Chains A and B, each alone.
Chain A
């Protein structure tokens, strides 16, 4: 059974930092692209960024709203994904989902974690 479990959410002040983690199980983690998607309270889904697999040189992509502030990394040996968030703003308040992108060409988000809430507030 595929499982994605996020951790690390919490309350942080504006300008602060936070690191989210995602532990994956039930599939060959190293084969997949992995993404982060967030959802502000009462709002829609917003893509945060992606890390590709080893075959694609672990390249990363980021949404314009977080580029330069957030960093995605992965550890295939531990089946883990991380999101380092710096210079946090109140508008970064959201539930953050760890998401697996499928192997097929369209890379659909076929499995989602339960999400972890990040609140940026003074």
Chain B
């Protein structure tokens, strides 16, 4: 089955840039979405189709996807961005949605 791998945790200082990676075989050939989940809340879509931001999502969130790695970048990270982040893709070979294991972003 298809797997997406994320680092368990990433730390960043306020105002700095955080990068969260998501790795999978030939991931660059698939569309990747990213979700933010804060404790006790439902996930929120922050990036879709690799690079697109839904309305209402701050411009400091951006995404890229090439080769075997997709990356979520948070520029000028704020304390409010502290959350778990999950990448997601569609695996056409098994007709299933796949999530990465999640990355806890800490703003220290």
> Footprint of B on A, CB under 8 Å?
35, 37, 44-47, 50, 61-64, 97, 102, 104-110, 112-115
Residue of B31, B44, B98 touching A47 (CB-CB under 8 A): B98
> Footprint of A on B, CB under 8 Å?
1, 31, 33, 35, 37, 42-45, 48-49, 54, 84, 86, 88, 90, 94-102
- CB closest chain-A residue, reference B33: A108
Residues of B within 8 A of A46 (CB): 99
**Given A47-B97, A110-B48, 10 further pairs, Cβ under 8 A:** A44-B84, A45-B86, A46-B99, A61-B96, A63-B96, A102-B48, A106-B49, A108-B33, A108-B45, A108-B49
B22: shortest Cβ distance to chain A, in Å? 12
Residues of A within 8 A of B31 (CB): 105-106
B60: shortest Cβ distance to chain A, in Å? 19
B28: shortest Cβ distance to chain A, in Å? 14
- CB closest chain-B residue, reference A44: B102
B83: shortest Cβ distance to chain A, in Å? 13
Does B49 lie within 8 Å of A104, measured CB to CB? yes
Residues of B within 8 A of A104 (CB): 48-49
Does A109 lie within 8 Å of B49, measured CB to CB? no
A69: shortest Cβ distance to chain B, in Å? 16
A61 CA / B91 CA spacing, docked (Å): 12
Does A109 lie within 8 Å of B33, measured CB to CB? yes
